[in-house]
Every structure is written in structure tokens, then in C-alpha cells.
């Protein structure tokens, strides 16, 4: 196999890891006002992802760095053409990290409410925009003869892409609700399980409509297998949720996301960025680095990827137990007393 093809597949694997793991992080953030009616309950939800959310983002950093090194033409065209949506995603990820860390620094309700709004908003934005971006890669974009993006921001907001944004939104909501039902106990778990049921069935409808559209309009025959696996996984996940089998539901939901990535990358191949005019498309050959660069990257990946996987698996194992409001202390952060006004 050619090294460029190997790295195309490896990038699909990296994006799969990111969407599966960061997907439930985003879901928990979006569900915060529904699963947590008071501060303790919201802290249960946030503590469920607390030990792992920043590690999950490593998959995005690795995917971005690998794209830059393996396919610099793709990286340049995508980050210039999709500049505004990717900037919004980046800002959302930055402020989300700040919000999660700063939320508990001061022990006042007003302080926490402000940061909760930031966490919720910064989860909704990337959950939609990632789907919009990937759907445009499947559909193809307007590239000129020099492989530069020749469209506008509003060209990216076409019906197919907006439906793709709805797909990632409901998938992440379902994924986050299932994760909370699997990782928490008490009232938070009960609410999460009810929400998981609703979003699991919504995901079947929305993802099914987009997958059929993508397969019939933009894909190739062999990716029907990915569509079938995704559909079967979503239906089975919904059934497992209704029976309270959250471990199986989470696994099946993750399998549906894996199948979606297979459909996306399978539809793009042999392009990495399809163009409306096929002659202007970026392919795995005209967008890739030299064989020497790809060879060095391959050895680095072979050495360090098992280390990263082992460390992340160990992290999940250490923090595997359920959380409930009983594990949350009453007070956290610095308490400020407002100065009293002088008496007349």
C-alpha cells in the first residue's frame, strides 16, 4: 500500500477517535441544564468528564497535526476555505476549557451560572459545525484550478451540510446522555436515561436521512455497508437504552459514529477535498507530502500511538466508577464577602 493511502486511513482513525470520545464530552455539556437542576447535580455531570475531556481533545490535535504533515495542500485549502467555521470551533474549544477550569474557582451562584452558560454554548457550536464541515467534504466545494477555495461562507451552509450538522448534534446528544447514564448514579442518571431514549430515536431519523442522501448522491457502492452498519447500530443502541443496557448502548452508538466516518472518508476517496469540478479536486496524491516525510511519520506513529492508547485506557480504567451527588462536597472555590456600605 502507498504511504499516502495509509495516512488517509490513519487520519480517518484519528477523526474516529476524536468524534467518539469528544462526542460524549460535547453531549454532556449540551445536556447540562437538563440533567442538572442544581449546582451539585451539574457538578456530577461535569465531574463525569472531568478526568478525560482534555485527553479526548488530544485526538483533535493529533488529527490536525497529522493533516498538516501528511497532506499540507489539504490542510492549507481546508483551513483557508473553512476559516470562519473552524475559527468558531477553535474559540469554542478554548472558552470551554477555561469555563470547565474556572467554574469552581469562586463559590457564588452567579459566577457558576455564567460559566455554565459558556460550557453549554461552547458545546453546541462545535457539535453542529463539525457536521457541517464534514458534510461539505462529502458534497464537494468550489475550488479553483490552484486548489484554492473560491466559494463563500454561506456556500458552506447548504441544505446537505446543515443536515450533516443536525446529525452530529443529535449523535453527540445521544452519546452524552448514554455516557452520563453509564457513569453517574441517582437523579442525574435517571434524567440522562430518559434523555438518551429520546435522542437515540431522533438520531435514527436524522442520521438515516443524511446517510441515504450522502450514499445516493455523493458516495460509492461499497459504502452501503457502512450505511447498513450505522443504521443497525443506532436501532440496536435505542433498544439497549430502553432496556437499561447502557454499556451496550454506548458501544453501539460508538460503532455508528465509526460507520459514519467510514462513509465520509469512503465517499471522499481518492480525494481528500472533492471539488465541484473534479479536475480541481485535491487527491491523496497531489495533496500529500513526500514519501520520506510520510515514512518518518509512520515510524513515529508506530512507536508513540500504543503509548498514548495505553495511557488513555489506563485513565478510563482508574476513573471508571459511577458518580452521584453524595460524592460532591457542599462548598468549593473561594468565598468572597461583599463590603458593607458605611452607615450614616
Domain membership flag for residue 27: yes
What distance in Å separates the CA atoms of residue 29 and residue 179, rounded to the nearest whole number? 12
pLDDT score at 84: 92
What is the enclosing helix (H) or strand (E) of 144?
none
pLDDT score at 316: 92
Write down the residue that cell numbers 453531549 correspond to.
Answer: 27
Domain membership flag for residue 272: yes
* DSSP code for 57: T
pLDDT score at 1: 55
pLDDT score at 71: 95
41-82 pLDDT tens trace = 999 999 999 999 988 999 999 999 999 999 999 999 998 899
What distance in Å separates the CA atoms of residue 337 and residue 284, rounded to the nearest whole number? 61
pLDDT score at 108: 86
Task: Give me the sign of the Cα torsion angle 236, 237, 243, 247.
Answer: positive
Domain membership flag for residue 74: yes
Residues in the chain: 344
pLDDT score at 253: 96
- Helix, strand, or coil (residue 114): helix
Domain membership flag for residue 326: no
What CATH number does the domain containing 208 carry? 1.20.1630.10
pLDDT score at 104: 86
Structural domain total, the chain: 1
Domain membership flag for residue 335: no
Q: With beta carbons less than 8 A apart as the criterion, state whether 138 and 51 touch.
A: no
pTM: predicted TM-score of the whole model, two decimal places = 0.93
Domain membership flag for residue 325: no
pLDDT score at 327: 78
pLDDT score at 328: 78
**Which structural domain, as residue segments, surrounds residue 78?**
3-316
Domain membership flag for residue 264: yes
What distance in Å separates the CA atoms of residue 49 and residue 315, rounded to the nearest whole number? 11
- What is 227-289 written as a DSSP string? HHHHHHHHHHHHHHHHTT-HHHHHHHHHHHHHHHHHHHHHHHTTEEE-BSSGGG-EETTTT--
pLDDT score at 106: 86
pLDDT score at 336: 55
* DSSP code for 330: S
Gyration radius (Cα) of the chain, Å: 21
Q: With beta carbons less than 8 A apart as the criterion, state whether 84 and 28 touch.
A: no
Give pLDDT < 50 ranges for the chain: 338, 344
What distance in Å separates the CA atoms of residue 14 and residue 252, rounded to the nearest whole number? 19
151-198 pLDDT tens trace = 888 999 999 999 999 999 999 999 999 999 999 999 999 999 999 999
Domain membership flag for residue 336: no
pLDDT score at 16: 96
CA proximity to 119, closest of 93, 138, 146: 93
Amino acid at each position: 500500500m502507498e504511504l499516502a493511502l495509509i495516512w488517509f486511513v490513519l487520519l480517518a482513525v484519528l477523526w474516529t477517535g476524536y468524534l467518539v470520545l469528544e462526542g460524549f464530552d460535547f453531549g454532556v455539556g449540551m445536556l447540562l441544564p437538563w440533567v442538572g437542576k442544581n449546582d451539585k447535580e451539574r457538578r456530577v455531570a461535569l465531574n463525569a468528564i472531568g478526568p478525560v475531556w482534555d485527553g479526548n481533545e488530544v485526538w483533535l490535535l493529533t488529527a490536525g497535526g497529522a493533516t498538516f504533515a501528511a497532506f499540507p495542500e489539504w490542510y492549507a485549502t481546508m483551513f483557508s476555505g473553512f476559516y470562519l467555521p473552524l475559527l468558531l470551533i477553535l474559540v469554542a474549544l478554548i472558552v470551554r476549557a477555561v469555563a470547565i477550569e474556572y467554574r469552581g474557582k469562586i463559590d457564588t451562584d452567579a459566577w457558576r451560572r455564567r460559566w455554565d452558560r459558556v460550557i453549554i454554548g461552547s458545546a453546541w457550536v462545535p457539535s453542529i459545525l463539525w457536521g457541517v464541515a464534514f458534510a461539505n467534504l462529502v458534497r464537494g466545494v468550489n475550488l479553483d484550478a490552484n486548489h484554492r477555495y473560491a466559494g463563500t461562507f454561506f456556500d458552506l451552509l447548504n441544505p446537505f451540510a446543515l443536515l450533516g450538522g443536525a446529525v452530529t448534534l443529535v449523535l453527540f446528544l445521544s452519546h452524552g446522555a448514554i455516557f452520563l447514564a453509564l457513569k453517574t448514579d441517582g437523579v442525574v442518571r435517571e434524567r440522562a436515561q430518559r434523555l438518551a431514549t429520546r435522542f437515540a430515536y431522533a438520531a435514527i431519523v436524522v442520521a438515516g436521512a443524511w446517510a441515504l442522501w450522502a450514499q445516493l448522491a455523493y458516495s460509492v457502492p461499497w459504502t452501503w455497508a457502512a450505511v447498513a452498519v450505522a443504521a443497525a447500530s443506532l436501532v440496536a443502541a435505542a433498544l439497549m437504552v430502553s432496556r437499561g443496557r447502557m454499556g451496550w448502548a454506548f458501544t453501539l452508538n460508538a460503532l455508528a459514529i465509526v460507520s459514519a466516518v467510514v462513509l465520509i472518508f469512503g465517499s471522499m476517496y481518492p480525494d481528500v477535498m472533492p471539488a465541484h469540478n473534479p479536475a480541481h479536486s485535491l487527491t491523496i496524491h497531489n495533496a500529500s507530502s513526500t514519501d520520506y516525510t510520510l515514512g518518518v511519520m509512520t515510524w513515529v506513529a508506530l512507536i508513540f500511538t500504543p503509548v498514548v492508547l495505553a495511557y488513555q485506557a489506563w485513565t478510563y480504567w482508574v476513573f471508571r466508577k459511577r458518580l452521584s451527588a453524595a460524592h460532591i462536597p457542599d462548598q468549593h472555590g473561594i468565598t468572597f464577602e461583599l463590603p458593607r456600605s458605611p452607615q450614616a
